[in-house]
A = this chain, B = another copy of it.
Amino acid sequence: MEKQFYSYMQKTEHLKEAAGLMAWDLRTYAPKKGAAGRGEAVGTLSEMIFERETSEEMRSFLNELPGRTDNKVTEASLRECRRTFDKLTNVPQEEYKAFVVLTTQSEKAWEEAKETGDFQTFAPYLKDIVDFQRRYAEWKGYEGEKYNALLDDFEPGLTTEKIDDVFAKLKQELVPLVEQISTKKNPPADLFSGMQEQDQAAFSQKILEAMHYDFDAGRLDKTVHPFAIGLNSGDVRVTTKYDENDFRTAVFGTIHEGGHALYEQNIGADLYGTLLSGGASMGIHESQSLFWENFVGRHYAFWKSYYPLLQDAHEPLKNVPLDSFYPAVNQAGPSLIRIEADELTYCLHIILRYELEKALIRGELEVDDLPEAWADKMEELLGIRPENDSEGVLQDVHWPAGMFGYFPSYAFGYIYAAQLKEAMLQDLPEFNELLEEGNLTPVKEWLTENVHRHGRLMDPEELLKSASGWEMTPEPLIRYLTDKYTALYNLKESEEVDK
């Protein structure tokens, strides 16, 4: 029966591979007139996947197999299949269908509302979505906070209680730091425009190669909203966006997606064809992309070796010394839009959303009061207020898409990444020197050994503990940001930590 279970999982994975390729194609090469038909076909495949994940056959695997195996891959696969099965079957089928329809309508209403800045036209949909989330939490069940049920879908094991503790520490340290920095003048940042698309593409390719992204098991393509996607163990693709007005979009975007892709390319062969052949969680996945984007890609030592390559690809930079370039790509300060935020302020954008979500689910905040609450929180955390809802409460797709409990994963991705970085330094004390030499091999190998190869075998916190040696804590991130930005903005006589 164990053999049948593997064969059953593999077929589901094959359907996911097909749906994944269709999604990749839609966002890269598909002609526009095929999009509507393609959407329907993806819908059919999603339905088939749903049916397999919730079938009677799956139920019998889940009932019969546990306890009858000592294979840890089987055990962990059963755990993941059970999680999916419960998640999908806890919701009454009629409610689930209605929710799918609701989110489709809601996303449409949101797009229009974002265009016009009119929150009130979107509010009725959001009310229904929040209402569904509250009921969903009840169907699913939870311990402690109701919101924990939602968190668990994205970051298994994470709770409101843990988040409150971690976010309190972050706020305490970061809010005053951002406040101090916002009084400082940023270095000039007009050096990012004018790099030709093909030069950005060539440089992106070189950076991915330096990261040991395997081009025989992947590709780099152009898209509008960049993503990485693992189709099978030998096919993990990166997409990026080329903005001739700002090459940072491509450079840091490619490194970020490359971090996701490296994870998927290096999952252990023993996990192929099982539900464990993906990343451990949203947060752990994000830790990999952020590790490369920030802890490598925004590091002074990294640019010491790779800046000449960038200068070769874009002549005007030959007049810009590294010591001007480095602070320019590490500018920080309060801003309104999350996806444009810098690494220092990013977590504060997440904390804002988390506190509002929690209050909505608790019933302590009503949807109608959300725009005001958003602006107030923004002021409290970042010292600025949005002028309209488009650059405030309407900016993200997550709520219209019905994703509550997702945002904290982003912040925990940072926290995990910083913790992994400190752990890595114990094994690779020569980290800075390696980057200066442009040798990223040991960095990639450490991540593969400690994170990538395990796929979804462990829950996120268990994996983090196994990789770093200690429990999850925000201290490494606080240390990293405090030290780096204190030095960058000369907030005191500093040891120039990052240089």
Q: Which residues of A contact B (CB under 8 A)?
A: 10-11, 13-15, 17-19, 21-22, 25, 29-38, 40-41, 44-45, 48, 214-219, 231-235, 272
18 other contacts beyond A31-B219, A33-B217, with CB at 8 A cut-off? A11-B44, A14-B44, A18-B18, A18-B19, A18-B21, A18-B45, A29-B29, A31-B216, A31-B234, A32-B234, A33-B233, A33-B234, A34-B233, A34-B235, A36-B234, A37-B235, A37-B272, A41-B232
Please name the 4 residue pairs, one residue from A and one from B, whose CB atoms are nearest each other, closest first: A34-B235, A33-B234, A37-B232, A14-B44
Docked CA distance A219–B34 (Å): 11
How many angstroms between the C-alpha atoms of A19 and B41 in the bound complex?
11
Q: Which residue of B lies closest to A37 (CB)?
A: B232
CA–CA, A458 and B216, complex, Å: 45
**In the bound complex, CA of A233 to CA of B218 (Å):** 29
Bound-state CA distance A237–B56 (Å) is: 39
> A272 CA to B33 CA in the complex, in Å?
14
A35 CA to B216 CA, complexed, in Å: 10
Residue of B31, B45, B215, B272 near A217 (CB, 8 A) is B31
Q: Which residue of B lies closest to A13 (CB)?
A: B41
Q: Would A216 and B44 count as touching, CB distance under 8 A?
A: no
> With A19-B18, A22-B18, A38-B17 given, is the CB distance from A32 to B232 under 8 Å?
no
Contacting pair A231 B34 (CB below 8 A): yes
How far does the Cβ of A240 sit from chain B's closest Cβ, in whole Å? 16
A272: chain B residues at CB < 8 Å are 37
A423 to chain B, nearest CB (A): 30
Most chain B CB atoms below 10 A, which of A13, A17, A18? A18
Complex contacts, A14 vs chain B, CB 8 Å: 40-41, 44-45
Q: Which residues of chain B come closer than 8 Å to A38, judged between CB atoms?
A: 17, 231-232, 235
Which residues on B sit within 8 Å (CB–CB) of A235?
30-31, 33-34, 37-38
CB contacts (< 8 Å) of A45 on chain B: these are 14-15, 18
- Neighbouring B residues of A25 by C-beta, 8 Å: 21, 25
CB distance from A38 to the nearest CB of B (A): 6
